[in-house]
A and B are shown apart, each in its own frame.
Chain A
Amino acid sequence: MEFFRIHRDIPFMRHALVFNVISLVTFLAAVFFLATRGLHFSIEFTGGTVIETAYAQTADIPKVRTAVESLGLGDVLVQNFGSSRDVLIRVPLREGVKQADLVASVFGALCKAEGGTVSNREGAAEQGQSASRQACAAGAAEPVRLSRSEFVGPQVGKELAEDGAKALAFVVIGIMIYLALRFEWKFSVAAIVANLHDVVIILGFFAFFQWEFSLSVLAAVLAVLGYSVNESVVIFDRIRESFRRYRKMTTPEVIDHAITSTISRTIITHGSTQMMVLSMLIFGGQTLHYFAIALTIGILFGIYSSVFVAAAIAMWLGVKREDLVKSAAKDHDPNDPNAGAVV
């Protein structure tokens, strides 16, 4: 089987300007949505409380909302997630509301709305481990169960945001230094510009659709940054090699050749990674959903930016054979038609 039967090098660089305009437009759109809509941060960043409950029957959302609102907690969000029986309740941080007892009081209100009372139930869980929990009992039935809750204080959220920014800076600087040492500064600038543009576009998607930006999404974004830089590295590696092997080619031709000869690998590798991510998207459930989505966008734009943007930027920055093939090319003008063949 062979998917890629390419007769001659595809002239990517001839259209470099078009590609760069496309990515500039996408980039600006992403920045626009980030600025106007902003990211929908999860409570890990903003602080607050999230409570997930599982109802025995289909949950009556308005009823749940009324029950929670009766507590006077401010701007409470009540919504289904996953199935019609799972309800997610999000309570923002608020001055004067004692967060620590919030979960218990909300659960108490929900339980009361279902006509039950909260009691402590001790005993073995399904797996045979000591467990005790607050159970809502209405007769013999258990109309609502607490499946997960999370409370994050305001100081934690601020730190997380700071740490996230630090991590991003560390990745950018680390990769730039590595590429500058291994290749050349023009490549390192090109790779970082191209891949930061991916990051901004992922964030733009999250801003546009108001998807929840959580810690795991941040991890995905940083992983994507490392991953798509690796894509650019593979292409740069080929560019360097082609500069050495094909002396007569011009810079755009060399870049075209490098991209063309790696395109099969690019598509197959990203396809494989995407298969794994797709599997996470299908089987991973709610927790891994946005993580997988961020990765998907990152992988798709990673291909685009490495192939069309990074190399083009390196070209605009004026990458020359001399930059990469220092000793061998000093006495030789690559554009000189009279230069003899060097074997």
Chain B
Amino acid sequence: MNRYPFWKYAILVIALVVGIVYTLPNLFGEAPAVQVSSGKVTVKLDVSMKQRVEEILAKAGLQPDFVQFDGNSVKARLADLDAQRKAKDALSAALNPDPADPTYIVALNLLSRSPRWLTAMHALPMYLGLDLRGGVHFLMQVDMKAALTKKADSTAGDVRTLLRDKNIRHAGITRDGNAIVVRFRDQASLAAARPILADQLTDFAWEESQDGTDWKLAGMLKPDAVKRVQQAALTQNITTLHNRVNELGVAEPVIQQQGADRVVVQLPGVQDTAKAKDIIGRTATLEMRMVDETSEGRMAVTGAGPVPFGSERYTERGGAPLIVKRQVLLTGENLTDAQPGFDGQTQEPAVHLTVDARGARIMRDVSRENIGKRMAILLFEKGKGEVVTAPVIRGELGNRFQISGRMTTAEANDVALLLRAGSLAAPMEIIEERTIGPSLGAENIDKGFHSVVGGFAAIALFMCAYYLLFGVISTLALGLNLLLLVAVLSMLQATLTLPGIAAIALTLGMAIDANVLINERIREELRGGANPQAAINTGYERAWATILDSNVTTLIAGLALLAFGSGPIRAFAIVHCLGIITSMFSAVLFSRGLVNLWYGRQKRLKSVSIGQVWKPAATVPAKT
């Protein structure tokens, strides 16, 4: 009765082999490598880069283990730290002739030391979390209200243009929260305006009402448009963050959406939060507006009069006040690029700007009407605005134009960077920040590893001493459980963190329960006088129902953590849940397989090695 059909053994062997193969890459450790990735949005890497890197390294007399291209970057693995440093210098020098404006980012990185045939099978090591390798973690909240307000603001501008194009007279356009209110003197113009607005601005639902003698047309963002605007804002912010992080030259940054309005940024290897935050946390939005150069505006600058209605006071980067109109001409959304450079004629430092089609149209109209006037470029950080620059419009502008004059090269660089930074769709705020030093990370790996090994050894010793051969089998099953768990985590390319390691330890500690249940049951059957083969069979059968019940309750707790937890709790929960599932396989199927293999063949089994089975002298409760 204690025999498995051949196919069951086959499944066990396959599980064992798969477990070993996918666990292996984690054991090889990591080797120093150099990574080359694009430093500019416009530069795309392709396979030819692999060849170039190989040539450069060969010229420098370096022998990389291999060079690989993985879609976004080219990585070369090197033998030691010394070679890594030399390779980095050689590559930087060859790929970036102008160090001040690097086209490619050459970063130091780590690559798995596992052999290539494993990598070819997609057997990759687990990714180590920040708490194990050191780095910075930011959680950023995107200000969605601001994104909606901005949408309403820019739409109000569109309404104005539309109505003017169609020659419809209105009595004022205002933004009230996220709604746009257009006033009309008579019903006829309202009737003319409504179909145009409804037709052109489909994101808004228009409603008319009467207010005294005026007629009002109020536009509210439709719910699905709200969702779209928010998602677009988030996506754009993530893209912008990617570009900014590229400037940092981090080897493997993680930038992900979390929840509806949050972005996680993880930068392994970076300890310098100040610099990282300087670039990432530059939570800024860009707006272009006209400077108020009416007489009231000029009075307000000197403080002689109040700020006129429809204008606001901001300070220039020098500290001087500037009165700027509220109406937004262009936002960072329309600005596609800003690069420092030189004026073609005067050779003065300049910033070259490129705007999209919509921006170009607005730019052309505005500049034609306002030659000789000043236009301010404002950068908003956390709701506070600052004038980056307020140049005078010299002529009619198209989609490419430049800002020049009274600037040093450094200033031009600075302004260009700030303008590029301004392409965030909505402001963001850091709501969580974590830094872990690299030595602390290495220490955490050791601590986690020692915890698992120490606990495993203690359990193994006890089980073997107490249950003898069955204890050895239980220990082997527990070992397979660990192997499978690590293999599954590697296959899923899960991120291993310290709570994850704690979960591995705890799961192993709990998984032994199944084998204890089985072994105790078998002893009990033997105590009751059953023959060994029957005892093994009933022991496994009876214990199974209990094991299933108890694992389901543990799984419920694990799923709750998975559903509601975030960050470290989630990592813990994933490992915990997977561990429960692998433990059912290893503790029941695998250990039974071993027992069957050992005892199943023996027809006349006299005794089993499960430790001492003590029988009480007194009778067991009488069965009725």
Contacts and interface: CB of A to CB of B under 8 A. Distances in A.
A25 interface: no
Interface string B593-624: 00000000000000000011110111001111
Given A151-B433, A156-B139, A182-B549, A133 B271 contact: yes
Interface string B405-442: 00000000000000000000000011111111111101
Given A132-B271, A216-B568, A275-B459, A149 B434 contact: yes
B552 interface: yes
Contacts of B39: none
A128 B81 contact: yes
A210 interface: no
Interface stretch (B334-342, B351-359, B443-451, B484-492): B443-451
B454 A268 contact: no
A295 B506 contact: yes
Interface stretch (B10-18, B93-101, B198-206, B516-524): B516-524
B241 interface: no
B546 A283 contact: no
A269 B568 CA distance: 27
A143 to B, nearest CB: 15
Nearest to A214: B568
Contact of B512 (A146, A163, A269, A343): A269
A155 interface: yes
B13 to A, nearest CB: 28
Interface in B538-581: 545-546, 549-561, 563-569, 572-573, 576
A136 to B, nearest CB: 12
B249 A149 contact: no
B447 A287 contact: yes
A178 B551 CA distance: 12
Contact of A275 (B442, B458, B465): B458
A90 interface: no
Residue among B85, B108, B274, B560 facing the most chain A CB atoms (10 A cut-off) = B560
A272 B272 contact: no
A146 B435 contact: yes
Contact of A148 (B435, B576, B617): B435
Contacts of A272: 459, 462-463, 509, 512-513, 516
A265 to B, nearest CB: 4
B624 A171 contact: no
Given A130-B249, A215-B567, A222 B611 contact: no
B552 to A, nearest CB: 6
Nearest to B252: A129
A1 B463 CA distance: 11
Given A216-B568, A222-B557, A268-B516, A125 B618 contact: no
Interface residues of A, number: 98
Residue among B281, B463, B466 facing the most chain A CB atoms (10 A cut-off) = B466
Contact of A175 (B462, B553, B617): B553
A166 B508 CA distance: 27
A272 to B, nearest CB: 5
Contact of A226 (B268, B435, B440, B553): B553
Interface stretch (B306-314, B315-323, B385-393, B497-505): B497-505
Interface string A155-185: 1100010011011101100110011001000
A230 B553 contact: yes
Interface in A200-249: 215-216, 218-219, 222-223, 225-227, 229-231, 233-234, 237, 245-249
A229 B551 CA distance: 10
A131 B612 contact: no
Interface stretch (A6-14, A29-37, A62-70, A311-319): A6-14
Given A227-B510, A288-B498, A124 B84 contact: yes
B285 interface: no
A291 B107 CA distance: 37
Contacts of B402: none
A60 B440 CA distance: 22
23 contacts: A2-B612, A54-B437, A120-B274, A128-B32, A129-B109, A130-B107, A130-B249, A133-B437, A134-B272, A150-B432, A151-B434, A164-B564, A174-B560, A179-B553, A222-B560, A226-B555, A233-B553, A234-B549, A234-B550, A265-B516, A274-B509, A275-B462, A279-B451
Given A150-B433, A219-B569, 18 more contacts: A2-B614, A54-B437, A132-B275, A148-B434, A151-B433, A152-B431, A153-B432, A170-B564, A174-B559, A174-B560, A216-B568, A227-B554, A247-B624, A275-B455, A278-B458, A279-B451, A279-B454, A287-B444
Interface of B: 30, 32, 81, 84-85, 107-110, 131, 133-134, 139, 141, 249-251, 268-275, 277, 281, 429-440, 442-444, 447-448, 450-452, 454-456, 458-459, 462-463, 465-466, 498-499, 502, 505-506, 508-510, 512-513, 516-517, 520, 524, 545-546, 549-561, 563-569, 572-573, 576, 611-614, 616-618, 621-624
